[in-house]
Amino acid sequence: MNEEALLKAGALGAVQAGQCGSSAHFVTTILHQFAESLGFAIDAKDQSTRMHSDEVARISQVLALTMGLSGTEGQIIHVAGHLHDIGKIGVPDAVLGKCGTLTPAEWKAMRRHPQAGADILRPVAALSNLGVVDMVLFHHERYDGAGYPHGLKGLAIPLGARIIALGDTLSAMLQDRPYRKARTFDAAHDEIIRCSCSQFDPRVVEAFRESAGKLESLVENGAGKTLAA
């Protein structure tokens, strides 16, 4: 992340005012604390997704770094991971916790959460200018264009959103849901490889393949804040 982007995000204003030690400090402390807190809030609302937002944040950061993105870009994607499902705050609890198949109306309510999340976060200039709002808005797009809310395809989907899409799916597959049991890491691994070029960007899948061992221990241990690494 260059200085111009951080200036637009308002980070350097804080630095110049002596409130932070550096621009990276702004992302790793103020913005991260804010995102982590909101992520915990949405995970608390949905009992089936314990620590899901935190896990998505850490998985996505590992994928970003494996792809060669900068440390700061990885940290920004980590922040977006915490916030990716914040729009579910507007989805009724009965829909979030439903065991059976969603009705068309319930599915419509569920599919509104990326746009709702972007609308919630957009007033925070730093999140808009660092690309976090768009990562949240597009985290359910698919590489083949069959996702939502806009049906964006391939590289038209912001890279951070393509990364979070895989991190989100991996974390979700490894957790029990009201409508299905958790998969093993090996089963989730095979499913992600199978969905390369359809659901996922093949470059992100390649990073997943490369970092699979690290990710498996990350989700098993559940500890360690990748952000500061």
Structure tokens at 63: 């994928």
Closer residue to Fe ion (CB): 138 or 185:
138
Our CB check for Fe ion shows the closer of 85 and 141 to be 85
Shortest reach from residue 114's CB to Fe ion, in Å: 6
Residues 169-228 that bind Fe ion (CB under 5 A): 227
Question: Radius of gyration of the chain from Cα atoms?
Answer: 17
Does position 85 interact with Fe ion (CB under 5 A)? The reply is yes
**Secondary structure class of 198 (helix, strand, coil):** coil
Query: Shortest distance, CB of residue 16 to Fe ion, whole angstroms?
Result: 26
Q: Does residue 55 interact with Fe ion by CB under 5 A?
A: no
Q: Does 43 bind Fe ion (CB under 5 A)?
A: no
Neighbour-count burial of 55, counting CB atoms closer than 10 A to its CB (0-12 exposed, 13-18 middle, 19+ buried): buried
CA dist 16 and 53 (Å) reads 32
Taking the least distance from each CB to Fe ion, the nearer of 7 and 89 is 89
Quickly list H helices, the chain: 3-8, 11-16, 23-25, 32-45, 52-66, 71-83, 93-96, 104-111, 113-121, 125-129, 132-137, 159-173, 185-194, 202-221
The CB-of-136 to Fe ion minimum distance in angstroms stands at 9
Total of chain residues touching Fe ion, rule CB under 5 A: 4
Residue sitting closest to Fe ion (CB): 85
Residues that bind Fe ion (CB under 5 A): 36, 57, 85, 227
